[in-house]
Structure 1
Amino acid sequence: MSWITDAWYVAAWDGEVGREPMARTICGKPVMLYRKLDGTPVAMRDACPHRMLPLSMGIKEGDSIRCRYHGLKLGADGCAEEMPLRTDPVNKGICAETFAVVERHRFIWLWVGDKAKADPNLIPDFWPCSAPGWVFDGGYDPVACDYRLMIDNLMDLTHETYVHSGSIGQIELMEAPIETRVEGDGVFVSRWMPGVEPPPFWRLALGRDCKVDRWQVCQFVAPSNVMIDVGVAPVEMGLTLADHDAGTRGFVIDAITPESETSMHYFWGMARNFLTDDPGFTVRFKTQQGGVFAQDLEVLEAQQRSIAANPDIKLRGYNIDEGGVRARRVIDRLRKAKEAMAA
């Protein structure tokens, strides 16, 4: 497998998971998600331990789930509470696998791997999604591509010039120098564009026309997430790449969860420190951001089809690809280290 085990992955938005069971495949594992009566999320292997019917097709009874095939009833801990033949004694050894699950930063996080190692402190710190003075919302898309292609895409924003020319792209993205650095398991790609015309989105966010300094700082967060610090500030504010807190600023949040080797779940959004008291703008921007990302999905799915159709050709890395290349190296290193520990 190409992904890291023993790690937290986003399984769903908080609003997606309710009382009724839902199905989603996470890192090759079929998972059923629902909430108990007190709102606590539950994650369980989506297969009845009796005859393997998906439990997501089952019937909720309180905090428990009853298989729709023969009626085996399982508690939220996955263990049998009632046998198909009601006169049979309950065999507590009959259990469906359950997963460690935590709700944080508007997401439902699921631990893939050894449940005993599921430390909530290892959940990626998406701090702008929960910080006072910031507003956060976003959406979800299934994408038919290797999850690493999405990481490549997000760690190299030069593609904005051509893929997103009508919204956030501008030619200065191809001209401004970039700096790439690795800090532990994190990879950072930074770009500072001084004295440029703001593209359409940032002009709207500023509410006026003026020359701006624009920045982009892409951060790869293991196992498969990218946070992008983006924004603009009028040139007269004199901000720098090292100090731009006072600017019109946002964090593009990208939680990328493998489904299979050639498909993934993409949870996207933006946390922002501007127009925070305008819920209408939040709705409009979410729609606009979804349209921008739809352009990425079209490109990435076509790229995946081309990779399958050209098995004799390998991906190449140029200078602009350094962030994605280094992120892949981090993934490979962490994955091989866990495999070595398990051997």
Structure 2
Amino acid sequence: MNYLKNAWYCAGWSSDIGREPISKTFLEESIVMYRREDGTPVALSNRCPHRFAPLCEGKLKGDNIECPYHGLQYDANGTCILNPHGRGIIPKAAQLRSYPLVEREGTLWIWMGDAENIDEEQIVGTPFLVQKDQYASTTGYLKVKVNYQLFVDNLLDLTHAPYLHPDTLAGATEESMAPGKMTVEFVQGERDIQSNYFVRDMPATPQLAVFWENSAPGDFRALMHWHAPATLVLEVSLTETGKPKEEGVIVPVMHFMTPETATTSHYFFAIGHNRDIDDTEKTRVISEYAIRAFADEDEPMVEACQELMGGVLDLFALQPVLLETDVAAVKARRLLDEMILAEVNTPA
């Protein structure tokens, strides 16, 4: 399967990586990650070029990683610096690939493409994770048995919420979703798509009700922003009718989909809230709502859809029926296809 290589993918949360080497597969490539003694994160190819042993099972010697099979050592740039056998000659091919790994606002980002094409301005910020005086937040991770683009489709069309998430994330009813009640806006940029929903006089969702002081309906907004290839930023809010968004409950949610293989993905997510930020119980409750929705509702449904696609990963090849609300997901798929094709056809 072709992936967009010249792009940033979430490799985990800052707390996931320490001095103990760990491995994850990104875009079908096995990666070993650890921190140098000064705390700088490192990402290298996980396979020792000698006998293809997994370096993640090796030991760190200072900033170097030692192969667990024959003891060859590689520095943080992937260069073999020690062959403990024979005359100690180091073959020229004893080199690991080094992947740029950047740490921003509690999030780790890996660049899987050509190093000369790196553009750190493309990294999506996660400011609420570090704005401790404005938001309380939690992070999480799921390994999902679905193609990453199917999950992106799911997130770009939030009209499934009343049917799939009635007891967790949904507040809209069939009446509030009727023509004229819900406003949906789609905006396309050079590398991004926005899918924004607005519903007036909607009851609080079960998740937002944790912070909603009364039972009266309010103005609901769900602003979803997709950044190619698979980073999605959602801001959900509820305000008193007619009031500006800033006066209401705001729950930012990050959805970072990183392909593992063609049919499995890493799903990193973060949830914040701007009300009662010192109330750890409320933070726990809204996080549980989100995890239930992601793990027990979204993932099983999208996995079931993938299974019934019979191994066909090209959604359009199956000629799906398209609805008006599929606009954002369709535009994102087509934009990503164009970007991948352009990358593949760019001379090396």
Indicate if the aligned counterparts of 1:258 and 1:265 stay in contact, CA closer than 8 A.
Answer: yes
Cα root mean square deviation, aligned: 2.0
Task: Indicate the SS of the match to 1:174.
Answer: coil
**1:116 is paired with a residue of what secondary structure?**
helix
Partner Cα separation in structure 2 for residue 259 and residue 144 of structure 1:
10
Correspondence list, 1:310-325, <5 A:
313-325=318-330
2:334 aligned with 1:333, yes or no? no
2:177 aligns with 174
State the shift of 1:112 in Å: 0.9
Q: Is the 8 A contact 1:79 1:92 kept in 2?
A: no
Return the offset for 1:161: 0.6
Between 1:66-75 and 1:277-286, the stretch displaced more is 277-286
> C-alpha displacement at 1:310, in angstroms?
7.6
Corresponding position of 2:199:
193
- For 1:134, the equivalent position in structure 2 comes to 135
Structure 2: distance between partners of 1:168 and 1:252: 12
Structure-1 separation of matches of 2:286 and 2:205? 15
Pairwise CA distance, 1:44: 0.4
* Alpha-carbon distance in 2 for matches of 1:11, 1:75: 20
Cα shift at 1:159: 0.8
Helix, strand or coil at the partner of 2:187: strand
Partner of 2:213: 207
Question: Structure 1 residue 135: deviation in Å?
Answer: 2.8
Q: Please state if 1:110 is matched with 2:115.
A: no
CA deviations over 1:280-336 (Å, ceiling 9, x no partner): 332333233111111101111111111126898433321121111111112112112
Find out whether 1:304 has 2:309 as its counterpart.
Answer: no
Contact 1:64 1:74 in 2 (8 A): yes
CA gap of 1:86–1:291, structure 2 versus 1, over 3 A, is farther
SS at match of 2:47: coil
Q: CA deviation at 1:7?
A: 0.6
Q: Report how far residue 279 of structure 1 moved.
A: 2.9
Q: What percentage of aligned pairs have identical amino acids?
A: 29
Shift of 1:171: 1.5
Instruction: Please state how far the C-alpha of 1:149 moved relative to its aligned partner.
Output: 0.6
CA contact (8 A) 2:210 2:282 kept: no
SS, match of residue 305 in structure 2: helix
Q: Which stretch of the first structure deviates more once superposed, 126-135 or 323-332?
A: 126-135
Alignment check: 8 A CA contact 1:161 1:174 kept = no
Point out the more displaced range, 270-279 or 326-335: 270-279
Contact 2:18 2:34 in 1 (8 A): yes
What SS does the corresponding residue of 2:267 show, helix, strand or coil? strand
Per-residue deviation, 1:174: 3.2
1:193-248: CA deviations, max 9, x gaps?
Answer: 1112212222212233222111111111112111111110122xx23xxx522221
Unaligned runs of 5+ in 1: none
**Whole-angstrom distance in 2 between the partners of 1:55 and 1:310:** 34
Q: TM-score, normalised by structure 1?
A: 0.92
Amino acid of the structure 2 residue aligned with 1:304: Q
Aligned amino acid, residue 224 of structure 2? C
SS state at 1:308 partner:
coil
Alpha-carbon offset, residue 106 of structure 1: 1.8
Query: Which residue of the partner structure matches residue 256 of structure 1?
Result: 257
Task: Structure 2: give runs of 5+ residues left out of the alignment.
Answer: none
Partner Cα separation in structure 2 for residue 86 and residue 80 of structure 1 = 15
